[in-house]
Structure 1
Amino acid sequence: MPRDSLVFNERYTLGVDVAKYKLDCSEVPGRSHWHLRNKPEPVAALVAELLARQAGGTDILVVVEASGGCERLLCEALWEAGIPVHLANPKRARDYAKAIGRLAKTDKVDAAVLASFGQNQRLHLHPTARPDPRLEEIRALVAHRRRLVDEAVARKNALQAAMPDVLRRLVEQELERLTADAQTILDAARDIIASHDDLDTRHAILRGFCGIGPIAAAELIAYLPELGRLDRRQIAAIAGLAPMADDSGKRNGKRFIRGGRPEVRRALYMPAITAMTADPILKAFHQLLIARGKPQKLAITAVMRKLLIHINAACRDSLKAQN
């Protein structure tokens, strides 16, 4: 797509492609490219240069692609300095590259694409808010707990097969250790939540819903901090539970879900299964969908969405009462 057909901002945009050991930078305007080490000293020098530009009245936006945590050093330095940074979704950035005809993929090209991505007015990119360190800690705990639970399930499955007695004893010991460690991690996450009034209030709201236990509550607190601050459609879209249309001409395709946060859907799945049988409202809703001929998988997804909307409304009411 020709550059003239796009609508660009006049602000200074820096696109940064992040790797473990280096940062590739591309700026607009200027179109210059350079790279530096992904270390504290070079990052501090880059931030100082951006601060000097900002002090001179330049509107700045740094666009960084999420890269498995390698971007954390740069983003923390930018947030600390008060420089706007947008943490871009890698898939969205790559789709943009294809849309403007940048099919090649190198670190230099990716940095230039990110700079152009931030310049395009039609995308309405906003600075990413600095993550709450409390939620970051809870997120790390519940993510590791999930890995331990997956390992425990593998050990339980292994015990179903025939094996020597000595091996069986070892697997049983591993299973016992994994189970104990998972509980210790959950207790640690609960302690963090209990030590902060706002998080503890949210935890109490979540536990008040049918099917939401301590595990699901901790995961929803960690992975969905927007609860109560968005409307029903926005919160469903963030979770990846909003049905997407697939119509063309006279064809009305099936609605489907796409994108969103898989951690949130995973946290809501078992509570939705429980609510389908124990919560009168959601049970009736599920039965109505089945009576209309909806597939079971679709009905469960709809119950997850309905449960999330109810939770979001309760959190919104709590926030209003506090204000």
Structure 2
Amino acid sequence: MMEQTYTGIDVAKDSFVAATKLAGKVTTSLHSNDRKGINSFLKSLSSHSWCIMEATGVYSLQLAIALYEKGIKVSVVNPLQIKRFAQTKLKRTKTDKVDAALIAEYGERMQPKLYEPPAPFMRKLQQQRMSLKLLVKSKRSFLNQLHALALIKPL
């Protein structure tokens, strides 16, 4: 039987770093956080992979769903849990590669629960909620500007 491999993924807006831990060795790779980058990453994984990533909202959602749909084990973890784990290891270096390797180690040691994506209608509701929040914020900003302009007296 093949050994379980743990891949920690540090996700950012435009890219993600994957660190795979196998037989005590860690290899890292950088991918673009878009359909093309995700597809090339999926091709590099074995069926014995377990991917662990921090919950970064919209940035990690597409990747988590793609992994889930491909049948790869995936866990999406609260960033605070990873931070606390790093503190116990006294890790102070902060690079994407180090973070990804730390996330892989967290997955191996803690065996976090597996991810199940929200139903499509729930994702749509979440997107609408975020859009509404942005609109309300923009409206408030606009009204504040109008109010400030109204206070300006002509010379």
TM-score (norm 2): 0.78
**Structure 1: distance between partners of 2:30 and 2:138:** 40
Matched, 1:11 2:14: no
Q: 2:60 matched to which residue of 1?
A: 71
**Greater helix fraction, Structure 1 or Structure 2:** 1
Note closer, same or farther for the CA distance 1:42–1:149 as it changes in structure 2 (3 Å cut): closer
- 1:180-259 mapped onto 2 (5 Å cutoff): none
Per the TM alignment, residue 101 of structure 1 is displaced from its structure 2 partner at its CA by 1.5
CA distance in 1 between partners of 2:69 and 2:139 (Å): 40
Q: Does 1:87 align with 2:76?
A: yes
The one-letter amino acid of 2:69's match is E
Where structure 2 has 5 or more consecutive residues not aligned to the other structure, the ranges are none
Retained in 1: the 8 A contact 2:68–2:115?
Answer: no
1:27-54 per-position Cα deviation (integer Å, ceiling 9, x unaligned): 122322222333333422321332xx32
**Secondary structure at 2:9 match in 1:** strand
Point out which structure has higher relative CO (alpha carbons under 8 A, 6+ apart).
2
Task: Output one character per residue of 1:278-316: Cα deviation in whole Å (capped at 9) or x when no partner.
Answer: xxxxxxxxxxxxxxxxxxxxxxxxxxxxxxxxxxxxxxx
Residues 11 and 119, structure 1, Cα contact 8 Å, conserved in 2: no
> Distance in 2 between the 1:27 and 1:162 partners?
56
If each structure's strand is expressed as a fraction of its own residues, which one has the higher value?
A: 2
Q: 5+ residue gaps in structure 1?
A: 1-9, 165-323
Q: Which has the larger radius of gyration?
A: 1
- The correspondence for 1:35, drawn from 14, 30, 34, is 30
| Displacement after TM superposition at 1:88 (Å) | 1.8
Give the direction of change, closer, same or farther, for the CA distance of 1:153–1:103 in structure 2 (3 Å limit): same
How far 1:87 moved relative to its partner? Answer: 1.1
Structure 2 match to 1:140: 127
**1:17, 1:64 within 8 Å by CA — same for their partners in 2?**
yes
Aligned position for 2:116: 129
Q: Distance in 2 between matches of 1:157 and 1:20?
A: 30
State yes or no: 1:25 paired with 2:14.
no
Equivalent position amino acid for 1:41 in 2? K
- Contact preservation (8 Å) 1:61, 1:127: no
AA partner of residue 21 (structure 2): V
Q: 1:157 to 1:35 in 2, by over 3 A?
A: closer
Paired position in structure 2 for 1:119:
108
1:101-150 CA-partner distances (Å, limit 9, x unpaired): 21111001100110001001xx3401111121111111221232233334
Normalised by the length of structure 1, the TM-score is 0.40
Within the alignment, does 1:46 sit opposite 2:49 as a pair?
Answer: no
Corresponding residue of 1:100: 89
Kindly report the root-mean-square deviation, in angstroms, between the aligned alpha carbons of the 2 structures. Answer: 2.6
Count of equivalent residues: 147
Aligned partner of residue 127 in structure 1, secondary structure: coil
- Provide closer, same or farther for how the CA distance between residues 159 and 94 of structure 1 changes in structure 2, counting only shifts above 3 A: same
1:73 counterpart SS class:
helix
1:32 aligned counterpart, secondary structure? strand
> Percent of aligned pairs with the same residue?
26
Q: Deviations over 1:216-268 (max 9, x none)?
A: xxxxxxxxxxxxxxxxxxxxxxxxxxxxxxxxxxxxxxxxxxxxxxxxxxxxx
Instruction: Provide the residue aligned with 2:50 in structure 1.
Output: 61
